[in-house]
Structure 1
Amino acid sequence: MDNYKGTIDKKDFQNQIQIEDIPKIDLYIDQVIQLFETGFAESKRNEKEKILTKTMINNYAKGKLFYPLHNKKYSRNHVMLISLIYQMKSVLSINDIKGVLDGINEKAVQKDLDLQPFYASYLHLQQGNIASFANELERQEKEVAVQMQEAGEMEEFERVLLIASLVHTSNLYKRAAEKLLDEMSEGAES
């Protein structure tokens, strides 16, 4: 079986909007889109894929996924929230994301928020997640090779089995996140 460790390096799973990449001035929507296009360029599966669009950002605003803008400009905190939304949207529903971010947005509206320390912690955890992911991918790859060898199956099935295993792992993490969100929602209701 191919070694998928090279895929991790090639795909560059470490794409992210770093704190130092976010200008210290408020941005217009086109500038936010450009920042994300640059920051996540290596994450695209193909050249036509869009990271963020005006419609997406406007829908996030209408859905109250982040607190209101000031003079149609996005602050550094807005950019950090949009980055979190971008990461969560592939796993959670818009309503779930809103539930996760409600407390942060409430503090922002009260002008009692500097997201930078929180976002720095998030970026730090991401780096650990990438290292864990690389190890787990290698472990699953080896296990798939063993299973296929024992079953005497053709090599072409190894990739399919690895994909199925990774999807299952992804679903386990998704369910864990949803369970935490449900507990968070129940706690807010009581």
Structure 2
Amino acid sequence: MIDENQLIELIKELCLGDKVELEDIPDLNLYMDQVTNFIDEKLSNLKRNDNDKILTKTMINNYTKQGLLMPSNNKKYSKQHIILMILVYYLKQVLSLDDIKLLFEPVLKDMSNIEDDVISLDDIYSIFLELKDNETEDFENFISSNIRSIKEKTIEIEKETQDLAQLFLIVIMLVAQANAQKRLAEKIIDAHFKNKDI
């Protein structure tokens, strides 16, 4: 039988270990190597494999060319740059860079002038962290409910293969949920951010 508590603990591990608080982000300008080291250290538990990279110099240069980041100031990056890089990291797990740009453009109007933003980057990031925390609790409830359902539906399967069948169904359920959420995010971007003069 699948141990529901083990999965809940795994969720907590995943969600608690990737939190970079606003006050943890240096409020001084850093060189590119310092930025990549900082983000790699703070988000290292998000790596699936040890040799995976969270952020590289090439990524930073590409994000700047695509307008997702404002250019560096004398090859130094500010706290705002780092916040954007962290947000881009999370968003690109689900969205294309083109969609992220569409999402950022009307809210972060002029990357070089944060004064005219619809909502400040600090506020966006703080709210993001709060929503992420809320999502953890909701996700635990979702998992518990669906594990009970999966266990009921697999009760007739032979004991030797029951765990494997349950794990397979859990993965399928998670992928279905992730796909639904991704599609909804894309629909919102298409309906409200694409080809809009905001």
TM over 0.5, shorter chain: yes
How many Å apart are 1:46 and its aligned residue?
Answer: 2.4
CA distance in 2, matches of 1:123, 1:9: 15
Mean Cα deviation higher: 160-169 or 55-64: 55-64
How many Å apart are 1:140 and its aligned residue?
Answer: 1.6
Show the 5 A alignment for 1:1-190.
1-3=2-4, 4-112=7-115, 113=117, 114-149=120-155, 151-152=156-157, 154-155=161-162, 156-186=164-194, 188-189=196-197
How many Å apart are 1:185 and its aligned residue?
Answer: 2.4
Contact 1:77 1:115 in 2 (8 A): yes
Contact 1:28 1:72 in 2 (8 A): yes
Query: What 5-or-longer segments of structure 1 have no aligned partner?
Result: none
Query: What 5-or-longer segments of structure 2 have no aligned partner?
Result: none
Mean Cα deviation higher: 4-13 or 68-77: 4-13
Contact 1:148 1:158 in 2 (8 A): yes
Tell me the percent identity.
32
CA distance in 1, matches of 2:54, 2:135: 21
CA distance in 2, matches of 1:15, 1:96: 23
Q: Deviation per CA, 1:146-174: give whole Å up to 9, x if none.
A: 1111x536311110011001000000100
CA distance in 2, matches of 1:186, 1:49: 32
Contact 2:150 2:169 in 1 (8 A): yes
Contact 2:29 2:78 in 1 (8 A): yes
CA distance in 2, matches of 1:119, 1:132: 20
How many Å apart are 1:14 and its aligned residue?
Answer: 4.5
Secondary structure at the counterpart of residue 76 of structure 2: coil
Contact 1:12 1:42 in 2 (8 A): no
CA 1:186–1:101: 2 relative to 1, 3 Å:
closer
Once superposed, which parts of structure 1, at least 4 consecutive aligned residues long, lie more than 4 Å away?
none
How many Å apart are 1:63 and its aligned residue?
Answer: 1.3
CA distance in 1, matches of 2:133, 2:122: 17
Mean Cα deviation higher: 135-144 or 104-113: 104-113
Aligned residues: 189
Secondary structure at the counterpart of residue 106 of structure 1: coil
How many Å apart are 1:25 and its aligned residue?
Answer: 0.5
The root-mean-square deviation of aligned C-alpha atoms, in Å, is 1.9
CA distance in 1, matches of 2:100, 2:113: 20
Secondary structure at the counterpart of residue 173 of structure 1: helix
CA 1:187–1:61: 2 relative to 1, 3 Å:
closer
Contact 1:25 1:76 in 2 (8 A): yes
Contact 1:14 1:127 in 2 (8 A): no
Amino acid aligned to 1:177 = A
Secondary structure at the counterpart of residue 146 of structure 2: helix
Contact 1:12 1:43 in 2 (8 A): no
CA distance in 2, matches of 1:122, 1:69: 24
Contact 1:145 1:158 in 2 (8 A): yes
CA distance in 2, matches of 1:120, 1:42: 21
